[in-house]
Amino acid sequence: MDDLGTAYGWVAGVALIAAMIPHQVRLMRLLLLIAGIFGVLHFAFAEEVGTGVVLALAFLAVNTARLYQLWSRARSGSMTSEERELFDHVMKIEDPSQQNRLRDLMEWRDMEVGEMLIEQDQIDPPLIYIASGRAAIERDGQIVSEVGAGEFVGEMSHISGEGASATVKVAHPMRMARLDRDALAQLTRSLPEIGRAVDGAFNRSLAVKVVRMNRTTQGAQTSG
């Protein structure tokens, strides 16, 4: 019985390591699901029914739910208006398979006024796409600009690898998508055409911010 439990533990460990390799989120989730199943079996056969098996069950439940979510979304083939706007007009990606790969990396949320998206000097800040609403950009406690629908925040840190240069707070109720930075980096390395589309979207977003910042600076100088 102990030997079988040990074997299940090894399988769970191997599956966890293997889950770090694939670029496809669904395959990663599937491997994590397998790891969870064998993790539960490990604790059950080792007769360690306690915190370990509870955590393994929770791990299994979370990955089962996320895998089902990905599967059902892919099967339906339907996209929200926010996703369609992002892929068709912002990222300019037409290939449905590439769109679905990117959808797997996104978590959509509704945000309220005052919620913080990014904190100044934050290491590895999140990468966020704003579908609706606005956010205030603050540096050293002073509002210097705003960003709105169709723009990204956190893209400069994603490109440069440096910490956040400003704080970003929700200024008007917002619908946003948070992208998995690490998974996106892996995906763009494996599919250069997606990488080019993403880089283009980021560059256009940065260009809009630069133009807006210049206008704000010129306006301040004129009024001064």
pLDDT of residue 209: 87
Choose from 79-83, 148-152, 184-188 the range with maximum mean pLDDT: 148-152
Average pLDDT over the chain reads 85
Q: What is the pTM of this model?
A: 0.68
Q: What is the pLDDT of residue 91?
A: 93
> d(Cα 152, Cα 158) in Å, to the nearest integer?
11
Residue 138 confidence (pLDDT): 94
Q: Is the pLDDT of residue 26 over 80?
A: no
Interval 160-174 mean pLDDT: 94
Q: Does 187 or 3 have the greater pLDDT score?
A: 187
Instruction: Give the C-alpha separation, 136 to 124, whole Å.
Output: 19
pLDDT in tens, 47-88: 666 777 788 888 888 888 877 776 766 555 567 889 989 998
- H/E stretch holding 197 reads helix 192-223
CATH architecture of structural domain 81-223: Sandwich (2.60)
Ramachandran category for residue 141: left, alpha or beta (phi over 0 → left; psi -120 to 50 → alpha): left
Beta bridge partners of 169: 116, 136
Q: 69: Cβ–Cβ under 8 A, 6 or more apart, which residues?
A: none
CA–CA gap between residue 180 and residue 96 (Å, rounded): 19
What are the tokens at 77?
């083939």
The whole-number pLDDT of residue 219 equals 63
The pLDDT of residue 25: 65
